[in-house]
Amino acid sequence: MLYLVPTPIGNLEDITLRALRILKEVDKIWAEDTRVTKRLLNHFQIPTPVGAFHAFNEHQITSGVVDQLKAGATFALVSDAGTPGISDPGFLLVRECVQEGVRVECLPGPTAFVPALAASGLPSDKFHFEGFLPHKKGRQTRLQYLSALPTTFILYESPNRLVKCLEQLGEFCGPERPACVARELTKIHEEIRTDTLANLAVYFKEKNVKGEIVVIVGGA
């Protein structure tokens, strides 16, 4: 059995009782960054062994991990924050588990885009999750595609690229398109600002933007 265990995106109170129990019970926790996960485990006094499973070794170790699962091991997979497999490692391992008949369960829990979308005031009945845009090659093509979508769409973005991203979105979607920037969700400096793309670009240009960011844009 493989458990995908979501972990807090800022506020440690967001870990679930079930996540804590599963993290205690499994034979091993595979973690994107073992140091980050060990800090979480120390906080909750969980002594389970931790191994590294990240973008740089997942191709090499996935088959070995699946073999251990087939032999009867029970593992948890965690990322640094949020839900594994959502703009984080996990897909390769889950796909191989599914192909090999290993049971996979994903616990419900924190993920950044859901609270951002729900609190944005933008239509949430249908949406497209884009994750991170490519920095260079393919960026214009994705922006073109996104700008024509009839539904709300969601991006993950870094603080130093936010203003450029909002300006480019304004060029492709039009400056008056409604959008939302959700920053530092669940943390002390949480900020959720909904306005036009043009106004958001001006507002964040004047600020020294810090923290983690979800950008949500209304449909065409």
Residues at the interface with ligand SAM (CB under 6 A): 9-10, 79, 81-83, 86-88, 111-113, 156-158, 182-187, 212-214
Burial of 106 (0-12, 13-18, 19+ CB in 10 A): middle
The CB-of-132 to ligand SAM minimum distance in angstroms stands at: 7
The CB-of-25 to ligand SAM minimum distance in angstroms stands at: 23
Nearer to ligand SAM, 117 or 185 (CB): 185
With the CA atoms of 89, 129, 6 and 74 taken in that order, what torsion angle do they form, in degrees rounded to the nearest 10? -50
The CB-of-154 to ligand SAM minimum distance in angstroms stands at: 10
The CB-of-196 to ligand SAM minimum distance in angstroms stands at: 21
Nearer to ligand SAM, 54 or 73 (CB): 54
Nearer to ligand SAM, 111 or 147 (CB): 111
Report the half-sphere exposure of 168 (CA within 13 A, side-chain side). Answer: 19
Give, as one character, the DSSP assignment of residue 44.
T
The CA-CA-CA angle for residues 106, 120, 107, to 5°, reads 10
Instruction: State the residue for tokens 């804590």.
Output: 20
